[in-house]
Structures are given as C-alpha cells and as structure tokens.
C-alpha cells in the first residue's frame, strides 16, 4: 500500500515539475518577444503544440507570446491571427491578466498598421480589465495607449487630457515608476511638438530624459523629438548632439518605429546642414525601414479585416433575414393559433347551444306533457267527483226507495186479502226487474273499483264485490241468498272487510262505504 502511495506522490511531483517547467519556458519566451522574436516564436509554438484543451491559461500565454513576437517582426497578419485565437479562450468579462495583455496586443497591432480607430476599443477593453483588477500600473499604460490613439487621429486636446490623466495616476504610485513617467512625458512632448509649442515640448522631453530608465528605443524617440525641437528653433548644435546620442543607441534596438522617426529627423538635419551624402544615406535607411514596416503583410491584414468584415456583414444579413423569417413564422403561428382557437370556441359553443336547445326543448315537451297529464288528472278528478256525487245520490235514492218498498211489503203481508198479496207480488217482480235495469252502469262500477283499489290496495276482487253489493243496499240475508251461502258466512266476510278498511268501533260499514 505504501508503494502505491509513493508512486502516486511521484506522479504528482512529476506533473507539478512539468507544469512549472512549462510556465518557466513561457516566461522565458516572453522576455525574448522584442530582442529575439524568432526564438520566442520557436519556443512558444513548440509548447503550444504540446498543450491540451484543459491547459487554457498556458495556451493563452503561448498565443500572446506568438502575437507579440510577430508584431515586433511586423508580420501583422500572423500577429492578429494568434491574438484573435488567444481572445477566444476568454469570456468577454474575464479579468485575467493574459486576457488584458491579449486585448492590448490586438490594439497595438491595429496601431502599428495605422488603424488607430480600430485600436482604440481594444486598448479601452484592456484599460477596463486593469481597473477591475485594481492594476494601477497597467491602468496608466493603457491610458497612455489611448492617448497615442487620439494623438495619431489628430485629436490633440483629447490626447493631452489622457496623458495628463496618466500623470495624475502616476502621482498615486508608491514607489514611482520613473520609466513609465518618462514614457508619458515623452508623449506629452510629442503633443506640444504637434502644437509647435517648442518651449513646453522641450520641457516635457527633457523631463522624460531625466526620468528615463535608459531603454534604447524610448530614448531614441525622445532624443529624436528634442532634435526636431532644436532644428525648428535653429539650435543646430543642440540638435546635432541629441541626434548623435540617438545614433549611438540605434545599434542597440530593432524597434522600427523609434528608428524610422530618428532617420527622418536626421535626414532633415543633414540636408539643412549641407551634408548631402549623409542626408541621402539616412534617407535610404528611412525608405528601407518604411518598406519593411509598410510591407505587403500590412495590406494582407487590411484585406483580411475587410474579408472578415464582409463575412460578418453577410452573417448579420443572414441573421436578420432568419430573424425576420422567424418573426413572420411566429406571427403566422399566432394568427393560426388564434383562428384555431376561435374555430374551436365556435364549434364548442354551437355544440353546447345545440345540446342546450335540445335539453330546453325536451324540458319544454316534458313540461307540456306533465301539464297535459295534470290537466287530464284534474279533469278525471272532476269527473270522478261528479260521478261520486251521482252515485251517492243514486244510492241514497235507492236506499229510500227500498225502505219504502220494504215498509209497504210488511203492510201487505199483514193484510188478509189474497188479491192484494197477488197484486203486490206482481208489483215486486216488476219492481225488481226495474231495479236491476236501473242499477249503476258498468262504467260506474269500474270507476268505483278503481277508486277503491287506489285507497285500499289490499282489497281483493271479492272484497270489492261485497262493497258494491252493500252499496246497492243488499242485506246479509239477501247476499246469502244471492251467493247461496249462510248468513253467518256473509257476516264473517263483513267483519274481515271492516278490518281491511281499518274501521273503528262505532262506524257503520254501510255508512263508510256510501261515503267512499
């Protein structure tokens, strides 16, 4: 187990050493950007090819080295290509130091090819990142860079304001960075030279020399500008001394922009001094360096930028066209959706209304049918009430008639006259026939039975026939004769009928039946 941990520890150590060695190599290459750009390119490119996608910071460092080295070689197309690749590794709001440096390098590439307006936003972006990182030194550098952009766009007042802001920021540094102070003072001197304010130009440039760190390219530019001041004010001895100092330093740097400025001013001085051979020699140097700086690669960069811009315009036009198509399709979908929704709502409304109308019609028909039935029921009830009254009246009349006949029969039976009895017997026979013919009609009997069944569902047909007979005023003896049974059997039937009709004691069966 200990052996495994030892192996893992060794692998981590190797990876750590490897990572440190890569960073050391990249830092070493960064130092060679200006002095030996070819070595810087060789080292950085070899490291870049070994890096994986996870090593984003190392890749960005290698790409920045390549961009800077090609910038010093005036290979602007390659410099811009690597700068753009490095920029792709960072999010827009990333505050990493390498993101800041790549933004600045891209600005300097555009600056060197003379596209100062295009350089400005990159220097501004680098300044914004420096401010977010609270990097005061970088903030001064990029404020100075923005001043140079304005200076070369002939915006002298804006340039002077930016250089003064850089001086104010320098006053907050502790300790003071004199090299940076010298750079800003030199640039302010250049502004005054453009204004032809020779006194202020001389003062700023002399302060720049006093604070200079001795960097050759910076001093050559300052000496050249002082030479121009003294040449313009006809102080030729001072002009020659500073130009000679610049000549000694010209062999220590390859920074073309400092040298080309020196060659131009030196040519003007030698020509005025009458040293035509020397003047033509510096003129030749100026032309050769100018051709080197303004080589075909600068034109390639411009062509590349134009092609990129054209491609971007085409992409933007395509995006706009697609956006319009999407907007149109969205509107069509919205309209179709609205129409579909309206159609669905209308269909549902019609279906609901149809069902509602059918339900209402059905309800109306049911109401009419119910009303009709109620009317029929009312008519039937009225008719039954009328017939009940008629039956009751008829029953009463029959009862009275029967009582009268019964009384006369008793008187006849008491009489001793045979003729009278014979006559009465004949009369009673005819009377019985008449009684049978004057009985309630079949229709009345059916209606009476219906009423009985409705009020007393437990009644049998035999019970209802007994009720009808009693209503006809037949006595128990007459019923016994009619059905050929004993009177006692009739009485028992009457008793059971009382039970079914739930008659209380004291209520006569016949009286109750007559009231039904």
Please tell me which residue, 16 or 289, carries the higher pLDDT value: 289
Please tell me which residue, 423 or 85, carries the higher pLDDT value: 85
Rg (C-alpha) for the chain, rounded Å, is 66
- Express each pLDDT in 248-304 by its tens digit: 988 887 767 788 889 999 999 999 989 999 989 999 988 888 887 765 455 555 555
Query: Which residue in this structure is represented by tokens 């129409």?
Result: 339
Q: How confident is the model at residue 17 (pLDDT cuts 50, 70, 90)?
A: very low
Please tell me which residue, 125 or 301, carries the higher pLDDT value: 125
* Burial 25-35, CB ≥16 within 10 A → b, else e: bbeebbebbbe
Q: Does residue 146 carry a pLDDT above 80?
A: yes
Question: What integer is the mean pLDDT of 428-443?
Answer: 57
Q: What is the pLDDT of residue 443?
A: 61
Question: What integer is the mean pLDDT of 137-151?
Answer: 94
Q: What is the 3-state secondary structure (H, E, C) of 358-401?
A: HHHHHHHHHHHHHHHHHHHHHHHHHHHHHHHHHHHHHHHHHHHH
Q: Could you say which DSSP state residue 254 is in?
A: -
CB of 186 within 8 A of CB of 166? no
Helix (H, G, I), strand (E, B) or coil at 114: coil
Q: What is the pLDDT of residue 356?
A: 82
Q: Does residue 71 carry a pLDDT above 80?
A: yes
Question: What integer is the mean pLDDT of 315-319?
Answer: 67
* Burial 237-260, CB ≥16 within 10 A → b, else e: eebbebbebbeebbeebbbbebbb
Within 171-295, residue ranges assigned H as helices are: 178-195, 198-211, 216-232, 236-249, 256-273, 276-293
CB of 301 within 8 A of CB of 77? yes
Residues 6+ apart with CB under 8 A from 193: 201, 225, 228, 229
For residue 158, what are its two tokens? 């804006």
* Among the ranges given (13-27, 122-136, 332-346), the one the predictor scored with the smallest mean pLDDT: 13-27
Q: What is the pLDDT of residue 9?
A: 46
Question: What integer is the mean pLDDT of 332-352?
Answer: 90
CB of 136 within 8 A of CB of 169? yes
Q: Does residue 6 carry a pLDDT above 80?
A: no
DSSP 409-463: HHHHHH---HHHHHHHHHHHHHHHHHHHHTSPPHHHHHHHHHHHHHH-TT--HHH
Phi, psi of 488 (to 5 degrees): -60, -35
Q: How confident is the model at residue 11 (pLDDT cuts 50, 70, 90)?
A: very low
- Express each pLDDT in 229-239 by its tens digit: 999 999 999 99
Q: What is the pLDDT of residue 59?
A: 93
Q: What is the pLDDT of residue 338?
A: 92
CB of 454 within 8 A of CB of 494? no
186: nearest Cα among 232, 217, 231, 158:
217
Q: What is the pLDDT of residue 12?
A: 39
* Burial 269-304, CB ≥16 within 10 A → b, else e: bbeeeeeeeebeebbebbeebeeebeeebbeebeee
DSSP 116-145: HHHHHHHHHHHHHHHHHTT-HHHHHHHHHH
The three-point CA angle 255-36-256 to 5° equals: 15
Q: How confident is the model at residue 469 (pLDDT cuts 50, 70, 90)?
A: confident
Q: How confident is the model at residue 514 (pLDDT cuts 50, 70, 90)?
A: confident
CB of 232 within 8 A of CB of 244? no
Question: What integer is the mean pLDDT of 135-150?
Answer: 94
For residue 143, what are its two tokens? 């404020």
Spatial distance between the Cα atoms of 418 and 415, rounded to a whole number of angstroms: 8
- Express each pLDDT in 379-425 by its tens digit: 666 655 555 555 555 555 566 666 666 777 776 676 667 666 677 67
Q: What is the pLDDT of residue 437?
A: 44
Helix H or strand E segment including 355:
helix 296-414
Q: Could you say which DSSP state residue 175 is in?
A: S
Helix (H, G, I), strand (E, B) or coil at 336: helix
Say how many C-beta atoms besides its own lie within 10 A of residue 102's C-beta: 29
Q: How confident is the model at residue 124 (pLDDT cuts 50, 70, 90)?
A: very high
Question: What integer is the mean pLDDT of 458-465?
Answer: 86
Spatial distance between the Cα atoms of 445 and 465, rounded to a whole number of angstroms: 10
489: nearest Cα among 461, 462, 452:
462
Residues 6+ apart with CB under 8 A from 453: 459, 464
Q: Using CB atoms within 10 Å of the CB of residue 415, give its burial: 0 to 12 exposed, 13 to 18 middle, 19+ buried.
A: exposed
Spatial distance between the Cα atoms of 478 and 474, rounded to a whole number of angstroms: 6
Q: What is the pTM of this model?
A: 0.55
Q: Does residue 15 carry a pLDDT above 50?
A: no
Q: Does residue 92 carry a pLDDT above 50?
A: yes
- Express each pLDDT in 181-210 by its tens digit: 999 999 999 999 999 999 999 999 999 999
Max Cα distance, the chain (Å): 204
């Amino acid at each position: 187990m200990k052996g495994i941990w030892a192996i893992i520890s060794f692998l981590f150590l190797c990876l750590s050493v490897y990572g440190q060695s890569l960073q050391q190599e990249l830092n070493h290459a960064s130092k060679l950007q200006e002095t030996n750009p070819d070595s810087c390119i060789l080292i950085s490119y070899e490291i870049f090819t070994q890096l994986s996608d996870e090593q984003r910071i190392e890749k960005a460092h290698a790409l920045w080295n390549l961009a800077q080295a090609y910038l010093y070689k005036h290979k602007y197309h390659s410099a811009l290509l690597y700068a753009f690749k490095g920029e792709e590794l960072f999010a827009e709001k990333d505050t990493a130091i390498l993101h800041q440096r790549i933004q600045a390098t891209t600005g300097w590439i555009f600056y060197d090819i003379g596209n100062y307006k295009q350089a400005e936003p990159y220097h501004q972006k680098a300044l914004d990142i420096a401010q977010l990182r609270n990097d005061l030194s970088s903030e001064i550098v990029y404020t100075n860079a923005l001043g140079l952009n304005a200076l070369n766009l002939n915006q002298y007042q804006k340039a002077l304001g930016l250089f003064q802001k850089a001086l104010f920021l320098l006053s907050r540094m502790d300790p003071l960075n004199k090299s940076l102070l010298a750079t800003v003072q030199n640039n302010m001197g250049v502004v005054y030279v453009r204004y032809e304010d020779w006194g202020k130009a001389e003062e700023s440039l002399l302060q720049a020399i006093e604070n200079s760190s001795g960097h050759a390219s910076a001093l050559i530019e300052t000496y050249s500008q002082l030479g121009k001041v003294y040449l313009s004010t006809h102080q030729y001895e001072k002009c020659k001394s500073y130009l000679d100092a610049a000549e000694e330093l010209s062999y220590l740097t390859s920074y073309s922009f400092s040298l080309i400025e020196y060659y131009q001013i030196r040519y003007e001085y030698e020509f005025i001094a009458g040293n035509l051979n020397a003047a033509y020699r510096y003129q030749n140097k100026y032309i050769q360096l100018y051709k080197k700086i303004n080589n075909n690669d600068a034109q390639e960069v411009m062509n590349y930028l134009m092609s990129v811009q054209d491609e971007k315009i085409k992409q933007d036009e395509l995006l706009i066209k697609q956006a319009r198509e999407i907007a149109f399709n969205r509107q069509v979908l919205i309209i179709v959706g609205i129409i579909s929704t309206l159609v669905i709502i209308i269909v549902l409304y019609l279906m609901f209304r149809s069902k509602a109308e059918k339900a209402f019609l059905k309800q109306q028909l049911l109401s009419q049918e119910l009303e009709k039935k109620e009317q029929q029921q009312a008519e039937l009830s009225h008719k039954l009430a009328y017939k009940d009254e008629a039956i009751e009246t008829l029953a009463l009349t029959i009862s009275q008639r029967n009582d009268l006949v019964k009384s006369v029969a008793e008187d006849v039976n008491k009489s001793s006259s045979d003729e009278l009895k014979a006559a009465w017997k004949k009369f009673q026979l005819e009377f019985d026939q008449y009684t049978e013919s004057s009985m309630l009609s079949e229709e009345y009997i059916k209606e009476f039975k219906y009423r009985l069944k409705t009020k007393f569902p437990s009644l049998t047909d035999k019970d209802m026939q007994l009720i009808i007979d009693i209503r006809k005023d037949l006595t128990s003896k007459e019923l016994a004769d009619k059905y050929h049974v004993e009177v006692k059997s009739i009485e028992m039937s009457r008793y059971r009928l009382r039970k079914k009709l739930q008659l209380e004691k004291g209520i006569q069966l016949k009286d109750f039946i007559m009231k039904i």
